Structure 1
Amino acid sequence: MGNAKHPVDEILPGGKLFLYGLQHVLAMYAGAVAVPLIIAAAAGLTKAQTAFLINADLFTCGLATLLQTLGIWKLGIRLPVIQGVTFAAVTPMVMMAKSGGMMTIFGSVIVAGFVTFIIAPFFSKLLRFFPPVVTGSVITVIGVSLLPVGVNWAAGGVGSKDYGSLTFLAVAGIVLISILLINKYFKGFIANIAVLLGLMIGMIVAMPLGLVSFSGVREASWIGIDTPFFFGLPTFDIGAIIAMILVMLVVMVESTGDFLAIGEMVDKKIGEEELTRGLRADGLATMLGGVLNAFPYTAFAQNVGLVGLTGVKSRYVVAVSGLILTAMGLFPKLATIIASLPNAVLGGAGIAMFGIVAASGIKTLSKVDFDKNPHNLFIVAISVGIGLIPLVAPDFFKLFPSWSQTVLHSGITLGSITAIILNAFFNGGASEDDIKKELASNAGIEG
């Protein structure tokens, strides 16, 4: 009878469930906590507020993962898919944090999540407007736009009185070299948590140099509950909402690729119904993120790679990951320790992580045919060029109306709009089946 069950629906022994589930958490943990750390720095939050943001993010990651793996009603793809905060949203959220504060971010996240939920059944019809030439250009812009964040961290953080000191640069260098050495000399699980190990090594090196302050750890409570709208009621800014909806369209393309890739890995056919359930869960998790002081959620590509690497197909393994993440979100002491990571340590890891995001975009673009269709060169060139305007010339759009500033200061929004319009102009739109095949192959290589 047990043999009749599909491996995806198999419930493994308790010990294995926990260990495999923990491995998934460790593989995505550095990426999961990086986003709240970036946003907290941009918004000028205190260490206690930063810790709260990390807790809220981990807690919501867990809920989103449980929703996706176990599913309820017509929600959740019921595959071993772990959910995490998308890096695609970081650049516009940094702009929102600086201009309108946390409430503007959460307002835009709630609306964008609702839009995602509503359009999920129709998304396969929009998919043809997001071929690899579009998604590759956008992901490249995201990575390059984030690199200044990592570089500034490595130098000690913007505003630091010792900005650029050799001590900061040396610590960041040690973290970066550690990540590279771990990737070179280790395989599998250890290589998958190279960023996490690099951060731990950096923390140990930074302690005797007096760069680490554990102030607030003793005062932080052992258990803390994530309360809705902790930072105040959300504000709904039109520019911010447009920017976040565009981000979610790109995220839906990424999620689709991850769902299709993991479906192939575990030998489960992903049709329109399954895809709709998965994208609806993304939308609901994102809405929930806005309520619970967190962010937009998507399938984490590195964990798709981990499923292929380990061959463990059970969705209940990743459901246990969801339980672990939810539990981790209830411990403010742990989050306060993470919030104590000095900027220089984060910088070494940030340069690697954000560089990998840009490299992932370039890898996606490597699938694009530039010889038979030279128009693709123009799509990439112009969308990347326009997407990087806010990075290279922050005052470029300063004379435009104030309501448009959030959109115009978001490189990913400008790059996305440009790539979508140019692709529609030059190529019209590829067939849905071709796009699905390309998305699955791209996502399958990630991680």
Structure 2
Amino acid sequence: MEDQKAVDEVNSCPPIGRTATLGLQHVLVMYAGAVTVPLIVGGALKLSPEHLAVLINADLLCCGLVSLLQALGIGRWIGIRLPVMMGVSYAGIAPMIAIGLNPEMGLTGLYGSIIAAGLICFLLMPLIIRALPLFPPLVTGTTLLSLGTGLLGVAIAWAGGGYNAPDFGNPFYISIAALVLIVTLLVARFARGFFSSLAVLAGIAAGMLVAILFGKVSLSGIDTVPMVEMVRPFQFGMPTFDPVAIFTMTLVVLITMVESIGLFFSLGEILNHKITREEFTRGLRADALGATIGGIFNAFPYTSYAQNIGLVGITGVRSRYVCAAGGVILILLGLLPKLAHIIATIPQYVLGGAAIAMFGMVAASGVRILQGVDFRHNRHNTLIMAISLGIGMIPTMSPNFFSAFPSYLSPFLQSGVLLTVVTAVVLNVIFNGVHQGLENLPSEPPVAEAVRTLPPAGQTP
């Protein structure tokens, strides 16, 4: 009876004004995470502010499109049809940067690999559903710990002024980064309800304001940027397809699906609705198709956002049409290049303060997941985690460690998260085997509880 009531609430649509307002709230909760990843990737690839603005617009557009895909669905095959918002995952940051920096691949190779990875995962969905037991909390927790720890190096570099900054370590840069971090902590500590979820956004806004007051931010050229502009497919060129890059991004898309599985479980608990195997399959198909859509429109792979699922629990509003309204708002924001141009001018030292908090939380969430793993009675688990984490840290601790290997392997060998997840999966199968399928997973696995606490970053990021 409770399950039927939950389904009715999910399928009901509040009045248009209330639906739009609640949809806007979902957008505000996820906005910082949605724009941070394009800033990270674009900054690492040394894109111009104009090209950064293109990435941001494309990302917002795709966030909206894939959110609509998930909330409303297509036919009987695609979309979980629950209150879900989709955003770009942090799991792909390192491999996407590695592919983009490879002179033989570049952006066209990156987007070709994302398109192909989405299609591969979509076509292989029955096999993927069967393979999900390969990613128990030991694997997902170790992977998130490696991901967050590796990304902290990026955050610290930003806080010092950014990569290759001639005055790296300038006290002004570090002071602004510290201000962003302090404001983020104060808002998270003292704000209540919805406003506490805007802590990261508030910190970035405070840092940006001080940077503007000190004349460190230039908005020159914004007058020439059109107010409204369509996002075009393949704006950076027609995609190219490299086998190693495709394999790398396929692993990334699989990781985003693991994130989504945990979050779908959490959402089911919030809604008092037991999510069926068919719903899981439809939801993961939308994840896979979202990656292909992202690659076509110069964006990224997508996954469910933890903060929006948490917002469903806070507000008690369970209608999927509210998230659909949020998707429409994101699409509209993606058509406003002036806004994207302003966001693209945010200095890296401002982002550095927020990134320390966000990436640190990703690592901390991995620790929380690992708390549910039996290390006391199964000494193999400690060995699996230690070796997987150690191998995953190689690109961060020694970037030139694999420099003598063929360049086409660099997207894989330079990605700590991929090295971690492959090592952890292989060692876990060798030592522990595979014991349970999707239908036997607990209603609230450790990954669901831990991922729910992630900051506005997704996911994942």
Give 1:362 shift.
1.2
Residue 259 (structure 1) aligns with:
264
Maintained 8 Å contact 2:57/2:337: yes
Give 5+ residue unaligned stretches, structure 1. Answer: none
Residue 18 (structure 1) aligns with:
20
Residue 335 (structure 1) aligns with:
340
2:244 to 234, 239, 242: 239
Identity, % of aligned positions: 48
Where 2:264 maps in the other structure, the secondary structure is: helix
Residue 173 (structure 1) aligns with:
178
Maintained 8 Å contact 1:131/1:430: no
1:434 to 441, 451, 457: 441
Deviations 1:15-53 (A, max 9, x none): 221221111111111111011111111211111110011
1:248 to 248, 253, 256: 253
Maintained 8 Å contact 1:42/1:97: no
Q: What are the residue-to-residue correspondences of 1:205-224 with 2, within 5 Å?
A: 205-224=210-229
Residue 79 (structure 1) aligns with:
82
* Gap change, CA 1:435 and 1:138, over 3 Å in 2: farther
Maintained 8 Å contact 2:161/2:167: yes
Alpha-carbon distance in 2 for matches of 1:263, 1:435: 12
Residue 94 (structure 2) aligns with:
91
Q: TM-score, normalised by structure 1?
A: 0.97
What letter matches 2:198 in structure 1?
A: I
Q: Report the more deviating stretch, 282-291 or 99-108.
A: 99-108
Q: What are the residue-to-residue correspondences of 1:141-156 with 2, within 5 Å?
A: 141-156=146-161
Give 1:164 shift.
0.7
Where 1:431 maps in the other structure, the secondary structure is: coil
Alpha-carbon distance in 2 for matches of 1:110, 1:444: 28
Q: Report the more deviating stretch, 83-92 or 245-254.
A: 245-254
Does residue 51 in structure 1 map to residue 53 in structure 2?
A: yes
Alpha-carbon distance in 1 for matches of 2:205, 2:392: 34
Give 1:120 shift.
2.2
Residue 111 (structure 2) aligns with:
106
Q: Report the more deviating stretch, 50-59 or 393-402.
A: 393-402
Where 2:124 maps in the other structure, the secondary structure is: helix
Alpha-carbon distance in 1 for matches of 2:113, 2:185: 37
Deviations 1:210-241 (A, max 9, x none): 21111222111100101010000112122211
Where 1:429 maps in the other structure, the secondary structure is: coil
Give 1:312 shift.
1.0
Residue 459 (structure 2) aligns with:
none
Alpha-carbon distance in 2 for matches of 1:187, 1:237: 48
Q: What are the residue-to-residue correspondences of 1:400-415 with 2, within 5 Å?
A: 400-415=405-420
Alpha-carbon distance in 2 for matches of 1:205, 1:444: 32
Alpha-carbon distance in 2 for matches of 1:109, 1:77: 22
2:38 to 36, 39, 44: 36
1:64 to 63, 66, 69: 66
Give 5+ residue unaligned stretches, structure 2. Answer: 456-461
* Gap change, CA 1:445 and 1:153, over 3 Å in 2: closer
Q: TM-score, normalised by structure 2?
A: 0.94
Alpha-carbon distance in 1 for matches of 2:272, 2:361: 28
Give 1:59 shift.
0.3
Where 2:228 maps in the other structure, the secondary structure is: coil
Give 1:395 shift.
1.0
Residue 6 (structure 1) aligns with:
8
